[in-house]
Amino acid sequence: MELYMAIAIGVLFAVGLYLILSKSLLRIILGTSLLTHGIHLLLLTTAKLKTGAAPLLGEKAEAYVDPLPQALILTSIVISFGVTSFFFVLAYKAYQRLGTDDMEELRGNEDE
Amino acid sequence: MSLLHIAILAPLLYAAVAGMFGLKVKRLHTGWIVLPLPVVIFAYFLSRIPVVQQKGGELYEIPWIPSLNIQFSVVLDGLSLLFSLLISGIGMLVVLYSIYYMDKKKEAVHRFYVYLLLFMGAMLGVVLSDNMMVLYGFWELTSISSFLLIAFWYHRERSRYGAMKSMLITVFGGLAMFTGFLMLSIMADTMSVRELISQSAEIMNHSLFIPAMLLLLLGAFTKSAQFPFHIWLPDAMEAPTPVSAYLHSATMVKAGIYLVARFTPVFAGQQVWFWLVSGAGLCTLIYGSVKAVKQTDLKALLAFSTISQLGLIMSLFGLGSVSAYYSGTPEALYYTKATTAAIFHLINHATFKGALFMVVGIVDHETGTRDIRKLGGLMALMPITFTIAVIGAFSMAGLPPFNGFLSKEMFFTSVLNAAKLDFWSLDTWGVLIPVVAWVASIFTFVYSMMLVFKTFRGTYKPKELMKTPHEAPLGMLIPPVVLASLVVILGFFPGLVSHSLIEPAMAAVMPSLLSEGEQFDVHITFWHGWNLEIMMTLGVIVFGFIIYQLLGRFRLLSTPLSDRFTLNRLYDRSLEAYNRGSRRITKIYMTGSIRHYVIYIFAAFVLLLAYSIVQSGGLSVDVSGFAPISFYEAVVIIALIGSVLVLPFVQNRLIAIILTGMSGYMVTLFFVLFRAPDLALTQMIVETVSVMLFLLCFYHLPKLSKEQVKPSFKWVNAVISVAVGIMVTMLALGAASNPMFTAISDYYLEQSKPLAGGKNVVNVILVDFRGFDTLLEIMVLGIAALGIYGLIKIDSGDEILGFG
């Protein structure tokens, strides 16, 4: 399972980065959310998959999965959500104001 | 705190007082406030002469940074006493001169004296410091104060250019010297020059010995304007003339010579040292004297003559270092004559060059020009100035009965002695030394004559001059008269300085040649009889006279070729090329395109990771511990990979958003499959809200256009992306298969109930065990919300965003 997960994470990273390298702002935002997914799955995968029950003690299982990465990912999901939504609104305002979403045109002035 | 410390620090502190006073009191020229200080310091140092003569020196120490072995320790021995007397004595005369030279109504005189006092204190610090770090500190302070003084008339472009140039060159050398000091302190494990000298025998074979010597000499050569670092000195002539007289003839440019003399006990007796010091000196000597002949500006002529004379003194210190080779044999004392000549000429040069600069200042002040071609026939109008000029210039040319004659004779003796040596490849190249010295002396004679006769003789051209020339005020004449009379007195009675100053200075430069209680016996005589040196001087006069005559007719030496390939041009060009090159390089990679920067970041990521994988012997993947894959999981994985892989090819923004959302829901499913209920809940909600947000703004979003880019654009992106994907896959595999140590999570699983009273371990970690993360994460959300609110609300305010 970890092997396939690793491949899936690789694909998420590759496509995410490919989108980030493109010219349109919308693609860049979508790319960042793919990268986020990749990182979350990476955190989960490196801590071993399917080693026991969900970390709820009421289950009375013999073994549980590692709860720590889950806590870390939960924190990360919320933060990335905040950042993505801010970035999204920022991109929207930039487009509204500057009239372009082409990153190659958004280079700033020569002397800046 | 000894009197010596006070002598160094007094000018620095007095600078503040004098500056304040000068700013407030406009009626009195600030120079009068300043004048007593150098007088007192000069008197103090005069009073130390007997002490130094008898005891050899005094040492006082104040701890400054004891943990780094840095003491503010000052040493007064023969060498530092000689320099201190020069600095304070000529400083005193220059202050007096500048009172009449600088107009208190037109110039910011208080500023001038603040800089001048700073310089004086720094220079005294340089020559009196025993600790190398302290010496370096004062050394840089002289560079800075010199920079300030050169650019005193900062509204002139040439002044700023000259100041910048001298700053760049001398600070470059200063930093090299600093590195040399560090090497020396590593070798000898001390910062004190005295202790360093006592260990010179041990460090001689250290591998850092030669690098330290080269770096130290770089510092000395740049400061003392040796070839090819002399180029800053002629441009420093944009400074007011008192500054030129003080800094750029008598004191600061001798700091490099002081350094060479001070470190002679460490390095002398080495072939590299001998050839570098005397070679650089001789090159500078002949180059400076030839260039001086070509100048038409009096100050430029004096600048090149200073360069040339500094080369002479430098080469003499080099020649004198031979005696360390003979250390312990009777020959040793024979070759110290060069060092005697060096120290004697150092004094002589300070006297006649100071006087000549002041003369030029007077001429400039009274006629409004320094151009030789416009001047002439001033002899009858300015008789006193003319007399001083004659004395100074004839002494510079090495004519009897002035002091320059004596040191020039001693110089000839030294070079002839050097030519007779038969080691260090002197048997082949040594013959050149007297020849170079003799030719340089001829040119020295020529420019000295030019200085006097082109300015004061010939036809008087009143139309060319801006003012009606007349004799300078008395106050302006006193300092050069004092210096000129010193020139004459030392010419007739060299014994005045030979016992009091030169002998202790020699003892400081060559301590190893003396046994306990012994003293050098310097006896400078005026007349040696009809020897080779006298013949050489006669030759100088004859040939010099011929060249001087020819110069007027044929304009020798000013070929267009020599004007085109100058070191100045080389300096300007290389500075320009350096600027242009760095700008070009920056432009190549700082493109302003975010895409390029992201490529740099990820290319570095891929390369560094690949390098470390190869370096650590490849990746070991252990599949045995991996969980088995079930049918559902396979379906989810395929759906995730499929939805993601299609994304780059989608041209419709709605489909792109929905596909991204789909990948998010697939991740949610993974969280379900991998037993993470809280994550699944959160991810689902967040994904839903994100997709809703996207769809909400959908109407306002730009259409996804088909990207009009070159194929290479896409190819580079694809290569980088795929490489990053592969790297991350390998990273994930490597991390999942090789657990370095057991997880700490058992603790959380065991203690969640007893310590925190919760069964949902993830939630307990979030709010109990690691509650701070959650607190700050809430803050992130709050900030994001406020930010979004601000972005949307502050809309009318174009001026706030800077578009108004």
Calculate the CA B554 to chain-centre distance: 42
The pLDDT, as a whole number, for residue B256 is 92
CA distances from A85 to A82, B618, B721, B784 (A): 5, 40, 24, 8
Percent of chain B at pLDDT above 70?
A: 92
pLDDT digits (tens, 9 = 90+) for B551-562: 766 655 555 555
Please state the rounded mean pLDDT for residues B142-157. 92
**CB within 8 Å: A107 and B592:** yes
Please state the rounded mean pLDDT for residues B303-307. 91
Q: Give the whole-angstrom CA distance, residue B350 versus residue B417.
A: 26
Please state the rounded mean pLDDT for residues B48-65. 84
Which pTM value belongs to this model? Answer: 0.82
Of A54, A90, A108, the CB nearest to B676: A54
The pLDDT, as a whole number, for residue A93 is 83
The pLDDT, as a whole number, for residue A13 is 95
Q: What is the ipTM of this complex?
A: 0.94
Contacts of B582 (CB under 8 A, 6+ apart): none
- Tell me how many helices (H) and strands (E) chain B has: 37, 2
Q: Give the whole-angstrom CA distance, residue B162 versus residue B170.
A: 12
Identify from A28, A37, A110 which residue to disrupt to test chain B contact, counting B C-beta atoms within 10 A and taking the largest count.
Answer: A37
| Confidence class for position B694, pLDDT limits 50, 70, 90 | confident
Interface membership of B689 toward A (CB under 8 Å): yes
Tokens 């045109």 sit at which residue? A105
Calculate the CA B88 to chain-centre distance: 25
Contacts of B501 (CB under 8 A, 6+ apart): B49, B78, B81, B82, B85, B343, B347
Q: Domain residue spans in chain A? A: 2-50+65-99
Contacts of B667 in chain A (CB under 8 A): 37, 40-41
Q: CA of A48: which chain B residue's CA is closest?
A: B736
The pLDDT, as a whole number, for residue B804 is 39
**Are A41 and A8 within 8 A, CB to CB?**
yes
Mean pLDDT is highest, among B106-110, B539-543, B553-557, for B539-543
- Using DSSP's 3-state secondary structure scheme, residue B599 falls into helix
Tokens 């991390």 sit at which residue? B735
Q: Which of B152-156, B293-297, B679-683 has the lowest mean pLDDT?
A: B293-297
| Confidence class for position B672, pLDDT limits 50, 70, 90 | very high
Measured between CA atoms, how close is A44 to chain B, in angstroms?
Answer: 9
Measured between CA atoms, how close is A105 to chain B, in angstroms?
Answer: 8
Give the CATH fold of the A2-50+65-99 domain.
Answer: Helix Hairpins (1.10.287)
For chain B, state the CA radius of gyration: 38
Residue B401 phi, psi (nearest 5): -100, 30
pLDDT digits (tens, 9 = 90+) for B543-600: 888 888 887 666 555 555 555 567 888 888 999 999 999 999 988 888 888 888 999 9
How many CB atoms are closer than 10 A to CB B608? 11
pLDDT digits (tens, 9 = 90+) for A69-83: 999 999 999 999 999
Instruction: Spell out where B206-270 has E strands.
Output: none
Amino acid residing at B632: Y
pLDDT digits (tens, 9 = 90+) for B507-520: 888 777 666 556 66
Please state the rounded mean pLDDT for residues B93-109. 86
DSSP structural state of residue B58: E
Q: Would residue A54 be called left, alpha or beta, if left means φ above 0 and alpha means ψ between -120 and 50 degrees?
A: beta
Contacts of B259 (CB under 8 A, 6+ apart): B177, B216, B219, B220, B223
pLDDT digits (tens, 9 = 90+) for A42-59: 999 888 777 788 888 887
Q: CA of B630: which chain A residue's CA is closest?
A: A1
Interface membership of B657 toward A (CB under 8 Å): yes
| Confidence class for position B492, pLDDT limits 50, 70, 90 | confident
Tell me the two tokens of residue B137: 């500190």
Q: Which of A78-87, B138-147, B418-427, B639-648 has the lowest mean pLDDT?
A: B418-427
**CB within 8 Å: B732 and A45:** yes
Helix or strand run (H / E) with residue B49 = helix B36-55
The pLDDT, as a whole number, for residue B539 is 87
